[in-house]
Amino acid sequence: MNIAIIGGGPAGFAAAITLARKKYNVTILEKNSSVLKKLLLTGNGKCNYFNNVQRVDKYHSSSDIKNIITKENIDKVNNFWNELGIIPIVKNGYFYPFSESSSSMKSALVNMALSLGVNIVVDREIIGIDEINGKVKVTAKSVSEIYDKVIIATGSLAYPKTGSTGFGYEVAKRYGINVVDVNPSLVQLITDTGMESKWKGIRSHVKVKYKNHIEEGEIQLTDYGVSGICVFNISRDISINLRNSKIETIEINFVPWVLSDLKEFLDERNKLLTNRDITELCDAFINYKLLFAICSKLKIDTNKTWDGLSGDEKNKLCNNLTNMQVRVVGTKGYDFAQVCSGGIDLHDLDSNLASKNNPNLYFVGEVLDLDGDCGGYNLTIAILSGILVGDAIC
């Protein structure tokens, strides 16, 4: 049986390796001049490929995914990397290769695929997929080939520099497969606080809240808005809701370690550290540039002492430090998004991720309506879906 995999990303490689182990003739067709371009960028070049914490709520889809995100399946992903010879280093549950270099992951995938006889063709952009007499015709600009089965592993619309164009969605639509609304996810947010030029460059440990979703971690304040893992993890829903609204609001708590009342805390601190101006009073826990930016917005004189502030000024300052209401007016979009929410509707695929309309056509990886939080979950989806399709084809 001849099988073509369109797209040489992690999902395509996982499918190729699983199928080649079963001695099928497998060809990866990749439009770029090299494979696994996006993988090289992951985890800031270190590749966070897996996570110790595995729960269904780390993954998102408009379909029920309880039968996909099972312990047995997640173990398959871990075993897959182990069988490729990856030695992990685990930091706070996040898995990286011990080399802390994503190029190790690329080498492991490419070397295993080549050693199993997978044919890897680069500079081959596929522009057409057609059903012909129970087989599938795969068309590139200069050549057409017939395969028994085709696996679409072309990724989403996120980070187009790495080759994603949304081709998989076009194929799906042609075959009557629903594509759930696609939106950038795990993406930076654009805000309009008026403080951006003043707070740019600051990193701070915060709690950030959007509706009922709370994330804690390091926020990066930038000249356009906010970034960082905690922001990425709330960006999914914001990005979807911004389709229908111009503004969404998030809340930032810059002092998440203050468990009771910040005003009482500052009253006590003021007794301990007498006669300090408010920047000195807060210096040990708030970046002075951020405090200046907040005070400037609130028109509070930073030369004043805590006792010199009016009750209203104290309340406003405390509210902004514990519960700053930040208007989000956009995201940085597909160009900067790590993944997309939405994609190929799992309702229109069978349990083996084959099209219900055409059993010779499969979909794997980010093209699916299945995405994860930051933390290795998206590569887990890529590898898992590749393995599932590889296991299913016989």
Ligand X SMILES: Cc1cc2nc3c(=O)[nH]c(=O)nc-3n(C[C@H](O)[C@H](O)[C@H](O)COP(=O)(O)OP(=O)(O)OC[C@H]3O[C@@H](n4cnc5c(N)ncnc54)[C@H](O)[C@@H]3O)c2cc1C
For ligand X, the binding residues (CB under 6 A) are 6-12, 29-32, 37-39, 41-43, 47-48, 125-126, 153-155, 158-159, 162-165, 167, 338-339, 365-366, 376-379, 382
Q: Which is nearer to ligand X, 126 or 286 (CB)?
A: 126
Nearest-angstrom CA–CA distance, 122 and 53: 36
Shortest gap between Cβ of 375 and ligand X (angstroms)? 7
Nearest-angstrom CA–CA distance, 328 and 335: 18
Q: Which is nearer to ligand X, 174 or 211 (CB)?
A: 174
Shortest gap between Cβ of 156 and ligand X (angstroms)? 7
Nearest-angstrom CA–CA distance, 344 and 171: 10
Nearest-angstrom CA–CA distance, 117 and 21: 9
Crossing angle between the packed helical segments 288-298 and 311-323, to the nearest 10 degrees: 130
Cβ atoms of residues 389 and 15 within 8 Å: yes
Q: Which is nearer to ligand X, 282 or 339 (CB)?
A: 339
Nearest-angstrom CA–CA distance, 180 and 169: 10
| HEC assignment per residue over 143-186 | CEEEECEEEECCCCCCCHHHCCCCHHHHHHHHCCCCEEEEEEEC
Q: Which is nearer to ligand X, 228 or 376 (CB)?
A: 376
Shortest gap between Cβ of 330 and ligand X (angstroms)? 19
Shortest gap between Cβ of 193 and ligand X (angstroms)? 26
Shortest gap between Cβ of 32 and ligand X (angstroms)? 5
Alpha-carbon separation of residue 150 from 27, 140, 394 (angstroms)? 10, 14, 13
Q: Which is nearer to ligand X, 262 or 339 (CB)?
A: 339
Cβ atoms of residues 363 and 166 within 8 Å: no
- Classify strands 149-152 and 144-147 as parallel, antiparallel or unpaired: unpaired
Q: Which is nearer to ligand X, 48 or 322 (CB)?
A: 48
Shortest gap between Cβ of 141 and ligand X (angstroms)? 10
The residue type found at 150 is V
Nearest-angstrom CA–CA distance, 67 and 82: 23
Q: Which is nearer to ligand X, 12 or 225 (CB)?
A: 12
Shortest gap between Cβ of 312 and ligand X (angstroms)? 44
